[in-house]
Chains A and B, each alone.
Chain A
Amino acid sequence: MGRYIVRRLLWVVVLVFAVVTITFLIFSVLPSGADPARLRAGRSPNPRLVEEIRHRYKLDQPVTTQYGLYISDLITKLDFGHSFQNDTDVLDEILKRLPATISLSIGACIVWLFVGISVGIISAIRRRSLLDRTAMGLSLVAISAPVFWLGLVVLYLFADDIGKIPILPGAGSYTPITDNPWHWFTSLILPWLVLAAAFAAIYARLVRGNLIETMSEDYIRTARAKGLSERKVILRHGLRSAITPVVSALGLDLGLLLAGNAILTETVFNIPGIGRMSYNAIVNSDLPTIEGVVLFGALFIVVLNLLVDIAYAFIDPRVRYT
């Protein structure tokens, strides 16, 4: 197991390096209309200013030199470079915004796991009941509803500034947990619910399907033949097996969210997270920021997948890594 983890971690390094390189390559072949120096210089800029910016950010150097400099700074000094657009240190900026994204993603994750798994179990054991049909119908709605629409609807309904039933802080109210934990919590309730809705629906369907399948396994019959209560049969024997695919889905989904995929929710609720940062960076051809965001995203996804694989070995004793 230890050797397996070391080997996987080495692969993480290789993969992140490949991701950084590919991002650089894509950027370097971008059409010239997205010239970062010109974008930085503002509307109808002085050509000399553009040249100066180009020089300052070493954009006048060959791509290979730029790439070499970037990589060597990254490895030797853990320096992610400076943003082309506002001169801030990329790593600082990412670290500053990361807590918001992590708060949003993990909180939503807890919500959707709780709702998804509970609804999934109930739907599975009351299969074809009115409850099951209602839950599965609602889940279709939740999956189909776009985040930007759902977000606006809940803001219209519940936000304390524009809402019809103003009970919760609305857009732009995000407060870091270190400033005011209570405010942090209330400000994130709506975003959590909105972000979690589609995931909860998908997970409910996943759990339902898996549990229904598991409950027809022979070992469930054995568990019943032992005289166990149905509750124990379902939770201890059925769910234990049905939860495995949920763990793999969770690794992927949470990784993607932390990598900035919560961008729509961040935008609707005006939360200063990684998603918004990457969007701005792309619009402004801000290569160092793009690289930084992509690198962090790749790290999250790879590491979470590694965690999933390790978790598998604990869930299923038949899984052995060497």
Chain B
Amino acid sequence: MTPLLDVQDMHVTFETEDGLVRAVDGVSFSVEAGKTLGIVGESGSGKSVTSLTVMGLTRGPSTKISGTAMFEGEDLIAASDVQLREVRGNEVAMIFQDPLSSLHPFYKVGTQLVEAIQTHQHVSRGAAWDRSGQLLELVGIPEARKRLDHYPHEFSGGMRQRAMIAMALSNDPKVLIADEPTTALDVTVQAQILELIAKLQAELGMGVVIITHDLGVVAEVADEIAVMYAGRIVERGKTDTLFDSPAHPYTWGLLESIPKLTGPREEELIPIPGRPPSLIHRPSGCAFHPRCPYVREEHKKIDPHLEPVPEDGGHSVACLLAPNTRRELWAKLSAGEEPEQARAEVPLQ
């Protein structure tokens, strides 16, 4: 199946006073209709910039963008602003992290929905208003028609995100990009919103990209996961593969830092040591080496590339450790050993 959205070798750099920020450094991914891709990474890993760039929202005098983002035969990176506006909010729609600040506080929710519809469809205001009511109903807002007349501040957090989703759906997009859609919401509401996105996707057959720092979020909804670190994808694979046999030490760290309800209470969470790397002064070699418990001297010099994991279809990783070593290390870690212990027992290759 040909992908709906196909991003190849995307680079995004920002000129700042402190220097050149390499926010996205050669990222490739694709989404098919009806499938969900999860992009996971911590703050500053370039995951949001990646999605915003697809939408053309990072364009500016100090931004340099290269690569391609093919959508229906059109390269969104090379497209003119006018061409891009035709696609934006129409065929590729986006929802954002904080639903309160993402809606204009001075306009009624209905007005904002109508604006989204009328930007891409030549319909009367009355028709657009009716359609807005249907959209709010579709995303599960009770008394939808009445709610059109309300302002965003009169909505709860979950309702606002539902309204944002309704707005994104207003022109039947083929691709929906959700940038941390549940981060600002209560846990119970989070689940509802994810369920809603999954349900709508099934109904409308959209390709969905969910960007998050929370592996728990993508575990439920994504078919495929890409883990980003320092502006690059360091591991990619089917969701099950990634949770069962993750291959990158960073992914291990992410998995180890999730609290498990089933574990003993005194079990300690293992955070990833150190801080996210500077995107101005990228660490040499493997960008993860300063924080990697399994680092070897040569890892500081060689820059790893995304390579297929042997005997594991569709799974690829950018790690300099030997496949066997990785398997052994993960076996120890998933058995509950701490990184130092695992490292002492497995000869690093």
Q: Mark A198-242, 1 if CB is under 8 A from B, else 0.
A: 000000000000000000011101111111111000000100110
State how many angstroms separate the Cβ of B175 from the closest Cβ of chain A.
12
How many contacts between A and B, using CB within 8 angstroms?
Answer: 69
Knowing A218-B98, A219-B101, say if A226 contacts B88 (CB, 8 Å). Answer: yes
Instruction: Find the residue from A221, A227, A228, A316 having the highest chain B CB count within 10 A.
Output: A227
For B, the interface residue count at a CB cutoff of 8 angstroms equals 31
The reply to whether the CB of B129 lies closer than 8 angstroms to some CB of chain A is no
Knowing A219-B102, A222-B103, A317-B105, say if A228 contacts B115 (CB, 8 Å). Answer: yes
> A221 to chain B: which residues have CB within 8 Å?
52, 57, 96, 102
Main secondary structure of the interface of A (DSSP, over half): helix
Knowing A226-B88, A226-B119, A227-B87, say if A317 contacts B101 (CB, 8 Å). Answer: no
Q: Whole-angstrom distance between the alpha carbons of A222 and B101 in the complex? A: 9
> A224 to chain B: which residues have CB within 8 Å?
57, 88
Q: Is the beta-carbon distance between A225 and B94 smaller than 8 angstroms? A: yes
Option from A225, A228, A237 in Cβ contact (under 8 Å) with B57: A225
Knowing A221-B96, A317-B151, A318-B151, say if A228 contacts B85 (CB, 8 Å). Answer: yes
The reply to whether the CB of B90 lies closer than 8 angstroms to some CB of chain A is yes
Q: Is the beta-carbon distance between B105 and A228 smaller than 8 angstroms? A: no
B59 nearest in chain A by CB position: A224
Q: Is the beta-carbon distance between A316 and B88 smaller than 8 angstroms? A: no
Q: Is the beta-carbon distance between A226 and B116 smaller than 8 angstroms? A: yes
Q: Is the beta-carbon distance between B57 and A223 smaller than 8 angstroms? A: no
Q: Whole-angstrom distance between the alpha carbons of A103 and B193 in the complex? A: 58
> A226 to chain B: which residues have CB within 8 Å?
88-89, 115-116, 119, 167
Option from A237, A240, A315, A318 in Cβ contact (under 8 Å) with B153: A318
The reply to whether the CB of B31 lies closer than 8 angstroms to some CB of chain A is no
Q: Is the beta-carbon distance between B88 and A227 smaller than 8 angstroms? A: yes
B52 nearest in chain A by CB position: A221
Q: Whole-angstrom distance between the alpha carbons of A237 and B102 in the complex? A: 12
> B115 to chain A: which residues have CB within 8 Å?
226, 228
> A227 to chain B: which residues have CB within 8 Å?
85-90, 119-120
A225 nearest in chain B by CB position: B94
State how many angstroms separate the Cβ of B116 from the closest Cβ of chain A.
5
Instruction: Find the residue from B57, B81, B89 having the highest chain A CB count within 10 A.
Output: B89
Q: Whole-angstrom distance between the alpha carbons of A316 and B106 in the complex? A: 6
> A228 to chain B: which residues have CB within 8 Å?
85, 89, 115, 119
State how many angstroms separate the Cβ of B128 from the closest Cβ of chain A.
13
The reply to whether the CB of B93 lies closer than 8 angstroms to some CB of chain A is yes
Q: Whole-angstrom distance between the alpha carbons of A224 and B88 in the complex? A: 8
State how many angstroms separate the Cβ of B46 from the closest Cβ of chain A.
17
Q: Is the beta-carbon distance between A218 and B57 smaller than 8 angstroms? A: no
A318 nearest in chain B by CB position: B153
Instruction: Find the residue from A217, A223, A226, A229 having the highest chain B CB count within 10 A.
Output: A226
Q: Whole-angstrom distance between the alpha carbons of A229 and B57 in the complex? A: 13
Knowing A226-B167, A316-B106, say if A218 contacts B88 (CB, 8 Å). Answer: no
> B105 to chain A: which residues have CB within 8 Å?
219, 241, 316-318
> B167 to chain A: which residues have CB within 8 Å?
222, 226
Q: Is the beta-carbon distance between A222 and B151 smaller than 8 angstroms? A: no
The reply to whether the CB of B55 lies closer than 8 angstroms to some CB of chain A is yes
Q: Whole-angstrom distance between the alpha carbons of A315 and B106 in the complex? A: 7
> A318 to chain B: which residues have CB within 8 Å?
105, 151, 153
Option from A223, A230, A315 in Cβ contact (under 8 Å) with B104: A223
Knowing A229-B85, A318-B153, say if A222 contacts B119 (CB, 8 Å). Answer: no
11 sampled A-B residue pairs with Cβ under 8 A: A218-B102, A222-B96, A222-B103, A225-B94, A227-B120, A228-B115, A229-B85, A237-B104, A240-B107, A241-B104, A241-B105
Q: A226-B167, A317-B105 given; name 19 further pairs at CB < 8 Å.
A: A218-B97, A219-B104, A221-B96, A222-B96, A222-B104, A224-B88, A225-B55, A225-B96, A226-B89, A228-B89, A228-B119, A230-B81, A237-B104, A240-B104, A241-B104, A316-B105, A316-B106, A317-B153, A318-B105
Query: What is the interface of chain A, defined by CB distance below 8 A to chain B?
Result: 217-219, 221-230, 237, 240-241, 315-318
